[in-house]
Structure 1
């Protein structure tokens, strides 16, 4: 009887094969505070930024569980690289909403990379044919290697917000050519230093109507992948965190067999506290990962049948938050069990510690998410526009 081994998707295999080269360049990436240009070009050429682009635009339109694993594999090698791919790939999800001419202009090139910030920190004054957009957005990861950038904005007329309902202003996500955007070098962070998460700014920039849209509006591409956009925009965050945590587990195991505790006359691996730490980390990471993949698979399957339910969308958000914060707890336990050697720059564990604790600060996986999903689980009538 022949044993059949499930095939690995070529892009996942490429991500896994990149591990030694990305890991070897981690110090270079961190020191540059951005992805090196040649690496960004290589990642684009391999197709990592096209994972969520519709097939009709020449994209891969991958199952979200596969995209999750690809981002996770890259983040295991280097957290900043995984993060930049996550941002570029998830931003490209918007190609399913952009009108066809704009989608072709932004995403038609096979090496296209986009980024931005969806939060409506800008102002889009309605004018003939489009909008005049002014704003400044922070946390714009990978902006230096993007050809187009997007910023969320509140729509105004005569300087006053247009309201779609009581207390709710109309918003648009507006795409700008990168050369029209001013980048401010503000990214001096404790972790994920190589993501180049700068501020971007535009002033009174005209954006044609076809380059501005709402993710709450109808999508142009009616495929299952685009049935739950807010979940997909954030699902890469736990993928990065879990990739970092997996790297921490591997590094701790290697350290535990190399490090001798002089006073105890034994290896770190023989210490019960080390054994407990790695066991807890392994269980935490694998169970959290399983929850995210379960929620992604369930939501995608539901999307093939029709609109996805609020309950399913909340389930994914809960899984994302739980996984990101669980990954940080796993890394914390390993960092502590490693002892003093983990504080030095030469230790990969300190990088994992710093990087994962920047990932936890993203609003998509912040503690208020637990209040939102907990309220829904309790049957409360909780406003949930971002689910």
Structure 2
């Protein structure tokens, strides 16, 4: 199922649609965790909302949703199931990635607006120069959503006659290749403690021809709208996942504690001062992190809408925000787990799954300590090593 290409979906309509499917996502969360991929009803439901077309351009009939509304949409999905929110966040990159190709190549890969993209852009594969393009080989990890993708991407080092091809400054050339999902092999490797439903398996390809027009490098988008002007915009809707998970965890914990008796006192947990204080602290931590997200991203969005490039200081704030948001949300949920107690560690308790999900998200490259270090360097005028920051 997919949203009608002729429908006039905008960000508000997509948000309203994802609100409607939250009960279904909750219902299938445990099944997806066990299967280590999103269930088919969940994928169909996500397609039907228009979430995967969020970043598709208006010129194609897409909604071209502003980045703050995108975060809100991903946040709403993640309140129901982190893996569904994560896969929606990854899958909706189609609108960004298609903008790095000329229109003919992009429309060939994306014949409908709700096509899902998956894959990783790190240059771990090889693109060997060939007539009209390249021969692509390699194996990539953390391919969130590859089990239901329509297009898969892979970053690769360019080689020619068996040797790395160098750029003018002497550094090895790297490009990102895009091919239909049917040409890739999905490897059954994803067996984590958290985010299991995201289906982030390894994927591979061997000596496949990639037309030159199906490859790209950062900073060469064919589109001019504010959503595409700054190369790092495609990673910004990430914030919706940890914030959404933590917001729902606050509600889950409060619901559990509202009906719990403390042992051995046999007194209602909701009347205990430390319980009340912990609930208030957790909500304040998550709320503060959320406000900082929308404040920072809103400022950057205003900058690009005005036609300007985000300043180094604005980018530094954003880079530090990735690690900060995950850290604050994770700390808040861990506080809630400790406050709830043994109920939280029982199989099937949503709070336990949310803690595992945030522990896993915290291992992502944009949530690691390195981001703090890079953000600090940026405040001193030094660019970070990742091209999309």
TM-score bin (small chain): over 0.9
Cα deviations across residues 234-275 of structure 1 (Å, max 9, x unaligned)?
223321111110111000110111111132232112222222
Q: Residues 41 and 111 of structure 1 are in contact (CA less than 8 Å); yes or no, is this contact kept in structure 2?
A: no
Which position in structure 1 is the counterpart of 2:296?
Answer: 295
Once residues 165 and 138 of structure 1 are traced to their aligned partners in structure 2, the CA distance between those partners, rounded to angstroms, is 30
In the alignment, is the contact (CA less than 8 A) between 1:54 and 1:95 conserved in 2?
Answer: no
Contact preservation (8 Å) 2:118, 2:151: yes
TM-score by length of structure 2 reads 0.93
Aligned match of 1:229 in 228, 231, 245? Answer: 231
Report matched runs for 1:258-269 at 5 Å: 258-269=259-270
Candidates 368, 373, 376, aligned match of 2:375: 373
Question: What is the Cα deviation at residue 181 of structure 1?
Answer: 0.5
* Separation (CA, whole Å) in 2 of partners of 1:381 and 1:114: 28
Tell me if structure 2 keeps the 8 A contact 1:237–1:324.
Answer: no
Instruction: Name the CA distance, whole Å, in 2 between partners of 1:323 and 1:167.
Output: 37
Write the distance in 1 (CA, Å) between the matches of 2:44 and 2:21.
14
2:192 maps to 1:189:
yes
Equivalent residues, number: 379
> Judging changes above 3 Å, is the alpha-carbon distance between structure 1 residues 270 and 37 closer, same or farther for their aligned structure 2 residues?
same
Q: Which moved more, 1:267-276 or 1:82-91?
A: 267-276
1:151, distance to aligned residue in structure 2 (A):
0.4
Is the 1:92–1:114 contact (alpha carbons within 8 Å) kept by the matching residues of 2? Answer: no
Q: CA RMSD in A?
A: 1.8
Q: Whole-Å Cα distance in 1 between the matches of residues 312 and 41 of structure 2?
A: 42
SS of 2:234 mapped into structure 1:
helix
Counterpart in 2 of 1:254? 255
CA contact (8 A) 1:57 1:104 kept: no
Deviates more, 1:311-320 or 1:368-377: 311-320
Q: Name the structure 2 match of 1:57.
A: 60
Q: Which runs of 4+ in 1 moved over 4 A?
A: 379-384
Unpaired stretches in structure 2, ≥5 consecutive residues: 1-9
Distance 1:381 1:50 in 2: 31
> Which consecutive residues of structure 1, in runs of 5 or more, have no partner in the other structure?
1-6
Residue pair 1:228, 1:313 contacting (<8 A) in 2 also: no
Determine which of 332, 354, 358 is the counterpart of 2:360: 358
Say which SS state the counterpart of residue 17 (structure 2) adopts.
helix
| 1:79 aligned residue (73, 77, 82) | 82
Query: Larger deviation: 122-131 or 90-99?
Result: 90-99
Specify the SS of the correspondent of 1:139: strand
Give deviations 1:177-206, integer Å, cap 9, x for gaps: 111111100010100111111111011111
Q: Deviations over 1:19-55 (max 9, x none)?
A: 2221122111112211112321231132110111111
- Equivalent pair of 1:135/1:201 in contact (CA under 8 Å): yes
The alpha-carbon deviation at position 210 of structure 1 amounts to 0.8
